[in-house]
Homo-oligomer: A and B are copies of this chain.
Amino acid sequence: MEHIDKVKGIYPPSRRSAPQDRAVSTAVIRRLPRYHRYLGQLLREGKARISSSELSQRMCVTASQIRQDLNCFGGFGQQGYGYHVQYLYDKIGELLGVNEHYSAVFVGLGHLGHSLVSSAMLERRGIRKLAIFEKDPALVGQTVAGLPVLPAEEAETWCRRHKVDLAVLAVPREQAQPMAEMLACAGVRGIWNFSDTELDLHIDGMEIENMHLSDALLGLCYRLRTSKGQASDKGREEDK
């Protein structure tokens, strides 16, 4: 911690220009959520600064890659001083939209929907959770994780009235497309889609993030099949 004052002195936000989006390449942008996650972890551990070599070891990225990436934020100190964790965390968060205070609703209260509703993931990224929409009348009227469960058919009117930015869609595959269209009509601009189907919504300014868990699973299976310790070499119990 001996250099912490100097470190702070290196990047006081007032003397540094704010990061310009156009100065940050798409490739760097794609890596930012991971930096944000690691920096958040460092903050939780009470670390005020970290060297690029230590961050490099933790993140399994080369120190030179880290220096290149974080230079975009005016967030690099002189050699030997390291990074100011809180400053970088805030700047990266700002660029990623953490401070935009987006509002979100959830659609679908199956197990996956329930786990997303219950998670602190959204609040931690500055997103306000407003309500849950669900088809099952047995669930409508309940309060889950402090949020009202409203009838799915009211989603459009409700989201329009409350200017909802973001919807977390966790409905069965066949319900995903009509619900997404309804949300788009209501002015929702972002859909985080867990419905294992790609949405066909080509609307200007509409952003969709499809979460295909099964694609990741197949990627893992491929690596299992092609990695050294082949399962077939193991002489499985059930094959005996």
Which residues in A have some Cβ–Cβ distance to B below 8 Å?
A: 21, 29-30, 32-34, 36-37, 41, 95-98, 100, 102-103, 110-112, 114-115, 118-119, 121-122, 124-125, 127, 161-163, 165-166, 187, 189-190, 192, 196-197, 204-207, 209, 211-229, 231-232, 234-238
Residues of chain B contacted by A119 (CB below 8 angstroms)? 112
Identify A217's interface contact among B189, B205, B209, CB under 8 A.
Answer: B209
Among residues of B, the one whose C-beta sits closest to the C-beta of A232 is: B100
A contact patch SS: helix
Within the assembled complex, what's the spacing in Å between the Cα atoms of A214 and B41?
13
Residue of B nearest to A222 (CB): B96
Contact of A219 among B197, B209, B231 (CB under 8 A): B209
A163 neighbours in B (Cβ, 8 Å) = 234-237
* Chain B residues with CB below 8 A from A223, complex form: 190, 207, 209
18 contacts between A and B (CB under 8 A): A33-B215, A34-B212, A34-B215, A97-B225, A102-B224, A103-B238, A121-B214, A125-B218, A125-B221, A163-B236, A165-B231, A189-B229, A190-B220, A190-B223, A205-B227, A207-B220, A209-B220, A209-B223
The listed residue with most B CB atoms (<10 A of its CB), out of A30, A124, A220, is: A220
Interface centre among A115, A190, A217 (most CB of B within 10 A): A217
- The reply to whether B219 and A100 contact each other, CB–CB distance below 8 Å, is no
Give the distance in Å from the alpha carbon of A212 to the alpha carbon of B40 in the complex. 14
**A214, B232: Cα distance in complex, Å:** 35
Q: When the two chains form their complex, are residues B98 and A221 in contact, meaning their CB atoms are under 8 A apart?
A: yes
A7 vs chain B, min Cβ distance (A): 26
